[in-house]
Amino acid sequence: METFAVVAVIGIALAFDFTNGFHDAANAIATVVATRVLSPRVAVAWAAMFNFIAFVVFGTTVAATIAKGVVDPAVLSVGVVFTGLLGAIGWTLLTFYLGLPTSSSHALVGGIAGAAIGRAGLHTVQRSGLQKIGVFIVLSPMIGLALGLLFTLTLMWVFHRVRHVERLNRGFRVGQLLSSAAFSLGHGANDAQKTMGIILALLIASKHAAPTAGVPLWVVLAAHTAIGLGTLSGGWRIVKTMGSKITRLQPAGGVAAESAAAVTLFFTSSRGIPVSTTHTITGAIVGVGSTQRVSAVRWGVASQVVWAWVLTIPGALVIAYVGQLVLRALS
Amino acid sequence: MIDRRVWIFLICALACVALIPFSNFDKPAKPGEKAKAHKSQNYRWVPEATAGAYLALAAMVAADSAARRPSSRERSVQNRA
């Protein structure tokens, strides 16, 4: 019976990963599609490929943070992981219905924390782990913004004497291929690892893995396959063109924004810090837009990110907490 | 009139400075044990560097907008014209 429950929860975790690829693919390919460097289908395949190979480049430190750094691993059980996922998915669906901004990454952290508190109390939360995640929730879009601005200024300074604008734009179109690949790599490294962390926590809880174990290879492959397939299957239908939603980007701006976000994601992924990839690229695009003037940026979109910081973790935490209480009452 | 971006970058710098005291993290505890008391993961340099970058950006934007502003002599010439 427990094996069936473990398999079912792994299925839910992979479905969560699939939807992440499905709606976050737009972040990586929006500017490439908008500037017609690649067709939507080819762009999605390009992003999916780099999502998948991210595990070769980066380790699994983000997964370890999710599995062992948010709550005391001793308190984890199949029920805790299940209600944690329930909190994350429930909050994501609720905010989708209400039209509120959210972050699936932060929802996952809030969900696991809420489920653990519901099971064994507040002391089970690893204050240090949550503190690290909380600090970088705020820092990652701000690093993206500063880097996006600095990269744009650097590109403007380096190429301001170039007279052949057409040739320069062609160069930046090629550059966009590289920068979107780098961003997809960062996206795969950070977001797929969150699911790996959840599955590792589940395996530890169900005694299928030792508490000190690393992430098994099949989990790594399954998580990257799920996020890659999500990107491949749905991303092109919902390209929301982040570029035009926040500010109108030119090829050079696309290169700067994606490179800035990629650098931020490479840093956080290599240090085992889970962050929101959407917030990071949003910050970078705002940074690129603010090189022009304040009114070139739709600050309403930026303020949505701030609301997502404030609301997501507590919201998912409460749903998971209530879910855990219900589960305990039923059992 | 100061460019509004200066204020935005200064607010970002302040937010980064506010995060500095919270940027030392304990190592995650092993199963069943309490979090270690000593600070072992020092990330203070991240908000410090980001705050520094925002201060530099604010200064650059302020200098740029000051350079673009017409001088009092140019303004008086424009007014007379």
Residues of chain A with pLDDT under 70: 1, 23, 25, 99-101, 234-248, 293-298, 301-302
Q: Is residue A70 in a domain?
A: yes
- In order, the DSSP letters of A258-307 are HHHHHHHHHHHHHTT----HHHHHHHHHHHHHTTT-GGGS-HHHHHHHHH
For A224, the token pair is 């990257």
Asked if B63 reaches chain A (Cβ–Cβ under 8 Å), the answer is no
What pLDDT was estimated at residue B32?
46
The pLDDT of residue B26? 67
| Amino acid letter, residue A254 | G
- Of B57, B65, B64, nearest to B13 by C-alpha is B57
Q: What is the pLDDT of residue A246?
A: 57
Residues sharing a CB contact under 8 Å with residue A309, sequence separation 6 or more, in sequence order:
A106, A137, A138, A279
> How many CB pairs below 8 A link A and B?
71
Contact B23 A149 (CB under 8 A): no
| Residue A331, in any domain of the structure | no
Q: What pLDDT, on the 0 to 100 scale, is given for residue A30? A: 75
CB contact under 8 A, B5 and A139: no
ipTM of the shown complex: 0.80
B10 touches chain A (CB under 8 A): no
Sign, Cα dihedral of B22, B27, B28, B32: negative
DSSP A168-202: HHHHHHHHHHHHHHHHHHHHHHHHHHHHHHHHHHH
Average pLDDT, chain A: 84
> Is B40 an 8 Å CB contact of chain A?
no
Number of domains in chain A: 1
Question: Measured between CA atoms, how close is B23 to chain A, in angstroms?
Answer: 7
Residue A227 domain flag = yes
Q: How confident is the model at residue B31 (pLDDT cuts 50, 70, 90)?
A: very low
With CB atoms and an 8 Å threshold, state whether B43 touches A68.
no
Q: Write the CA distances from A247 to A63, A166, B21, integer angstroms.
A: 33, 22, 34
Calculate the alpha carbon distances from A240 to A159, A174, A274, A294, B38 in Å: 30, 22, 24, 22, 46
Work out the minimum CA distance from A182 to partner chain B, whole angstroms: 22
Rounded to 5 degrees, what are φ and ψ at B25? -120, 145
Question: What's the confidence (pLDDT) of residue B37?
Answer: 42
pLDDT over threshold 90, residue B20:
yes
Note whether B5 contacts A290, CB cutoff 8 Å. yes
Does residue A222 fall inside a structural domain? yes
pLDDT of residue B35: 46
Q: Tell me, what's the pLDDT at A57?
A: 84
* Cα–Cα distance, A198 to B62 (Å, whole number): 47
Residue with tokens 């995060």: B19
As a residue count, chain B comes to: 81
Its domain, for residue A234, covers 2-325
The more confident residue out of A287 and B37 is A287
Helix axes A277-289, A127-159, angle to 10 degrees: 30
User: pTM of the full predicted structure?
Assistant: 0.84
Helix (H, G, I), strand (E, B) or coil at A323: helix
Residue A330 in domain? no
Q: Give the whole-angstrom CA distance, residue A92 versus residue A12.
A: 14
Residue with tokens 């908008």: A34
- Whether A183 maps to a domain, the answer reads yes
With an 8 Å Cβ cutoff, is B3 touching chain A? yes
Give yes or no for B30 touching A (CB within 8 A): yes
User: Average pLDDT in the B8-26 region?
Assistant: 90
Q: Is B7 on the interface with A (CB under 8 A)?
A: no
